[in-house]
Amino acid sequence: MAFLELTGVQKMFGDVAAVLDFNLATEKGEFVSFLGPSGCGKTTTLRMIAGFEKPTAGMITVDGKDITFKSPNQRNVGMVFQSYALFPNMTVAGNIGFGLKVRKRPKAEIDRRVGELLELIHLGGRGDRYPWQLSGGQQQRVALARALAIEPQVLLLDEPLSALDAKIRLVLRKEIRAIQRQLGITTVYVTHDQEEALSLSDRVVVMSEGRIEQIGTPSEIYNFPSTAFVASFVGTLNLVNAGVIDAGAGRLSIEGQEVRTARVPGDASTDGRVTLALRPEGISLGEGATGSNRLRGAVEDINFLGSIVRIRIRIGEGTNGEPPATVALDTFNDPHLKLPDVDEVITISFPPDASFVLGAARDQATAGVEAGAEV
């Protein structure tokens, strides 16, 4: 039974489509993230749920009631803004209680509820502070409490943590999720940070250029991306051009070396070449188990990233003037492990099901690059 439902929602700004054919059905109490790069339409969609933008087509319902064209102050959805948007002329208590004051609740009730919420966000006793006296993290918590005070049916968060620094972000992330679980509120969380989306959500909606690319659980999105965009946006990914030897058996050739992939390409290529995707963590140094795919190549460079060491390997010498394929593998840092030297030719291996075909071969210059890295 869907609680928050968007059907065919579309938003045009003049000729530009900011959001196209957005369909989503969420359960009550579910935590859903909208994930995507800037300009993908995630914030616009959120604002349509809140009522600050009107869809040019489509319908939005909450608990069965159509709210598509209701004005924002009649929707009973709580919104947390990226810049907190706390009212500077009111104390923390005043801010939190504002929604209730506007609904003309008795003062005693407002005070009680404000007190509860202050405890919930661990700011008990600081109700008489003003926003400018608080840190960024504290202000965001107050913004959260303010949105929750009116007991909204849906909670909306618009990149609430992007203005905060890394440590606070981690702490606040957990708190937000904990509070959400405790209250069982249906929540939509907009972010461009995939780590946030993956760690917090029940489901993730990956968006690009106004469209939904994929909806799924974090694990599904990460392990079974359904489009090239999702695969490259979420996590890091090796993309390698490969020639098709036997489509049915999943046999491909990378620079003359044969590999097998468990996933049979459907409509993959027109020229006998496809893009093969490989997660760095799925590749290991050495021969690997029986039945693994093996590739030989020269080490290009080694990046020490702390708990992980990322090794980049050049396969072959390149075909038809294109640069050679490069593949990066991640291995856990082990002080006793002897790492290969640069230019050393080594063998790497990966199980067939750690790879999948993403579609037709792409421009090798981009294919060999670690996708997902911020350019």
Partner 1 sequence: MTADVQAGAPAIPAATPTAAVATAGRPRRAPWRILWWLIFLAGVAYFTLPLVGTLAFSLRAIPPLSAYTDILTDQQFFTSLGYSFVVGLLTIVISISLMVPTAFWVRLRMPRARPAVEYITLLPFVVPPIVLVFALISTYSHPPLPFTHTDIGSTALLVCGYVVLSFPYMYRAVDVGLRSMDIRALTEASQSLGANWFTILTQVILPNLRVALLSGAFLTLAIVIGEFTMANYLARPAFAPYLSLLGSNEPYQQSAVALVSFGLTWVAMGFITILGRGSRSKIAVTGAR
Partner 2 sequence: MTGSVVQMNAQGAPTARPGRRRFGRTWLGLAPFAIFSTLFLLIPTAYLVVGSFQDPAGDLTLQNYADLSDPVITNAYATSLEISLVTAVAGGVYGFLMAYAVISAGLPRRLRSGLMTFSGVASNFAGIPLALAFIFTIGRTGLLTTFLDSVGIRPYESGFSLYTKVGLEIVYFYFQLPLMILIIAPAIDGLKQEWREASENMGATSRQYWRYVALPVLMPSLLGAMILLFGNAFGAQATAYQLTGGFINLVPLLIGNQLSGDVLHNVGLGYALAMGMVAILGITLIAYSVLQRRSERWLR
Beta bridge partners of 227: none
How many Cβ atoms are within 10 Å of 241's Cβ, its own excluded?
A: 22
> How many Å apart are CA 306 and CA 119, to the nearest integer?
38
Interaction of residue 150 with partner 2, rule CB under 8 A:
yes
DSSP 281: G
Nearer residue to partner 2 within complex by CB, 183 or 262: 183
| Interface residue with partner 2, options 8, 54, 102, 366 (CB under 8 A) | 102
148-to-120, 313, 375 alpha-carbon distances in Å: 10, 51, 38
Tokens at 181, concatenated: 């679980």
Nearest residue to 158 via CA among 133, 180, 187: 187
Binding-site size for partner 1 (CB under 8 A) equals 30
Tokens at 371, concatenated: 């996708």
| Interface residue with partner 1, options 215, 278, 295, 328 (CB under 8 A) | 215
DSSP 328-359: EEEEE--TTSPPPPTT-EEEEEE-GGGEEEEE
Nearest residue to 235 via CA among 324, 141, 308, 148: 308
| Interface residue with partner 2, options 98, 189, 233, 356 (CB under 8 A) | 98
| Interface residue with partner 1, options 28, 29, 56, 318 (CB under 8 A) | 56
Interaction of residue 220 with partner 1, rule CB under 8 A:
yes
Q: Residue 321: which residues within 8 A CB-CB, separation 6 or more?
A: none
> Strand, helix or coil at 354?
helix
Nearer residue to partner 1 within complex by CB, 212 or 252: 212
State the minimum distance, in angstroms, from the CB of residue 126 to partner 2.
18
> Strand, helix or coil at 107?
helix
Nearest residue to 299 via CA among 288, 310, 307: 310
How many Cβ atoms are within 10 Å of 182's Cβ, its own excluded?
A: 9
89 binds, among partner 2, partner 1, none (CB under 5 to 8 A by kind): partner 2
State the minimum distance, in angstroms, from the CB of residue 87 to partner 2.
5
State the minimum distance, in angstroms, from the CB of residue 173 to partner 1.
25
CA atoms within 13 A on the CB side of 318: 10
Q: Which of residues 3-42 bind partner 1 (CB under 8 A)?
A: 7-8, 10, 13, 17, 20-21, 23
> How many Å apart are CA 115 and CA 100, to the nearest integer?
13
State the minimum distance, in angstroms, from the CB of residue 63 to partner 1.
17
Beta bridge partners of 35: 191, 206
51 binds, among partner 1, partner 2, none (CB under 5 to 8 A by kind): partner 2
332 binds, among partner 1, partner 2, none (CB under 5 to 8 A by kind): none
Q: Which of residues 58-97 bind partner 1 (CB under 8 A)?
A: 58-59, 66, 68-69, 71
Tokens at 246, concatenated: 């036997």
222 binds, among partner 2, partner 1, none (CB under 5 to 8 A by kind): none
State the minimum distance, in angstroms, from the CB of residue 31 to partner 1.
17
Q: Residue 167: which residues within 8 A CB-CB, separation 6 or more?
A: none
Interaction of residue 13 with partner 2, rule CB under 8 A:
no
Interaction of residue 226 with partner 1, rule CB under 8 A:
yes
Q: Which of residues 46-75 bind partner 2 (CB under 8 A)?
A: 50-52, 71-74
Q: At which residue do the structure tokens 């040019």 appear?
A: 56
| Interface residue with partner 2, options 9, 48, 62, 77 (CB under 8 A) | 77
| Interface residue with partner 2, options 8, 54, 69, 101 (CB under 8 A) | 101
Q: Which of residues 158-217 bind partner 2 (CB under 8 A)?
A: none
State the minimum distance, in angstroms, from the CB of residue 246 to partner 1.
24
Binding site for partner 2 (CB under 8 A): 50-52, 71-74, 76-79, 81, 83, 85-90, 98-99, 101-103, 132, 146-147, 150
